[in-house]
Amino acid sequence: MVTSKQELTLTEKELFDRIRWSVRLRWGVSIAANIALVIACSVFGIRFPLPDTILIGLAIPLYNAVFAYLTSSLQTHETITTRRISRLASAQVICDIVAVAGLIHFTGGVENPFLIFIIFPIVYTTPLLPRKTVFLYTTIAALLMNAVFWGEAFGIIDHVSFPHVGGETLYREPLHVIMISGSLTVTLYLVFLLGGTIASRLRYRERELEGAYRQLKELNDARTFYVRKVSHELKAPLSAMRSLLGVILQGLMGELSDTHRETLNRVDRRAEGLLSLVSDLLTFARLETADRPVKQEVFDVGELIHAVVAVYQPLAAEKNLQLEVSAELCPICGNEEDIEQLVTNLVSNGLRYTPSGGGIDVNGNREDSRYILEVRDTGIGIPKDRVAHVFDEFFRASNARQSVPEGTGMGLAIVKRITEMHGGTVRVESVEGTGTTFTVVLPVHEG
């Protein structure tokens, strides 16, 4: 199965994350193992065959470096295959089993009090790889450890004694070897069985969640396509209708009575509201189907803020509103048109819901690697129990509908989506009857 990184199943994502986690963990384990060997030899006077133990101690970070490179390379691929992920995980498990078995052999074999560490590769693999694969690795670990124990007992391979543990002949006593090898083998298979049972239940739940997620995604994609299709089909006739109304209202098709003019003006306002809704729906549908800006460029967000505010100064004066701006110049990387839409929506929102005599302050400041845009108004505010919904699609608070009947309820949803696409955050603070403050935080372009 070939998938893009965004389309990995929950199990595949977990496996890939576990691979990266095991690479990081292995760095620490290799350092700790080498330090433990040095302390055992220099402080406690325990003598192990240094060439062999040092070789294994160096082999662990060496093969871990290879796995780190392969994981990084896999992460940058446009497509990731499930087989590649599984092969990389399998290779790590096999290397870990062999390395741990080698360390156990050269540091006491059956006498080593830390031989239980052989179960760790099985523990972190059991919940992720298929049961047959994990059973194979469990069997390999059990056979390898039994080969070490019985090989030492029968003198096939050299034995390295662990000081102060049962004397120098403990590894030759059949009963002791049977007890240790048997208990370790049983433990390995118990870990496999228990872990496999838990993993099976988790995978079943994951499949259910994956199916539900895909259904929701398909429904959302279908809804987005439908909205875009309908909105596109409505935009052209609405624009044509407004153009025709403009011709009639200008008297180019004959004189109009006051009653006719008032009626046509009302129709024109309704058509304008519908056209605004269609435009917002098209914008939101376009943004919703993208994970990041399609077109990215470096531009000065401070200059953009000043330009947007300048456009709205005549409207502010007409409504007897004080519109102030103080924006620090700062480069950011993103879609300039989308950020302009974001600033426009926030400023127009403040102008729309602020009564005559009030004010809107637009401030932009750089703080370290962030650019903070703040739009504060002295408008009608938002009811406390409705603040959490202001970024929902089509949402308009009751006092907003009473103050300004016209509106799509899409402006702030578009603001949030644009902010998220640019790796930023947006929040709102509001007191009903006092005013509202929107704060947008965007990453600064470092270059």
Residue 133 has, within 13 A of its CA and on its CB side, a CA count of: 15
Residue 332's DSSP bridge partners are: 299
Return per-residue pLDDT of the chain as tens, 447 residues: 444 444 566 666 777 787 888 888 888 888 887 787 777 667 666 666 667 777 887 888 899 999 988 888 876 655 667 778 888 888 999 999 999 998 888 888 888 878 888 998 888 788 778 888 999 999 999 999 999 999 988 889 888 776 654 556 778 888 988 999 999 999 999 999 988 888 778 777 877 887 787 888 777 777 666 666 665 666 667 677 778 777 777 777 777 777 877 888 788 777 776 666 667 666 666 666 665 555 788 999 999 999 999 999 999 999 999 999 999 999 999 889 889 989 999 999 899 899 999 999 999 999 989 999 999 999 999 998 888 888 888 788 888 888 777 777 788 888 998 898 888 999 999 999 899 999 999 999 886
Strands 370-377, 359-367: pairing kind: antiparallel
Triad 101, 103, 107: Cα angle to 5°: 120
> Which helix (H) or strand (E) covers residue 375, if one does?
strand 370-377
440-441-446 Cα angle (round to 5): 145
Q: Where are the alpha helices (DSSP H) in 294-426?
A: 301-318, 336-352, 398-403, 411-421
As a whole number of Å, the CA-based R_g of the chain is 34
Q: Give the span between the Cα atoms of 447 and 444, in whole angstroms.
A: 9
Question: DSSP H helical segments within 353-436, as ranges?
Answer: 398-403, 411-421
Q: All domains of the chain, ordered by start, with CATH?
A: 2-217 (no CATH), 297-443 (3.30.565.10)
Coil, helix or strand for 437?
A: strand
CA distance 324 to 162: 79
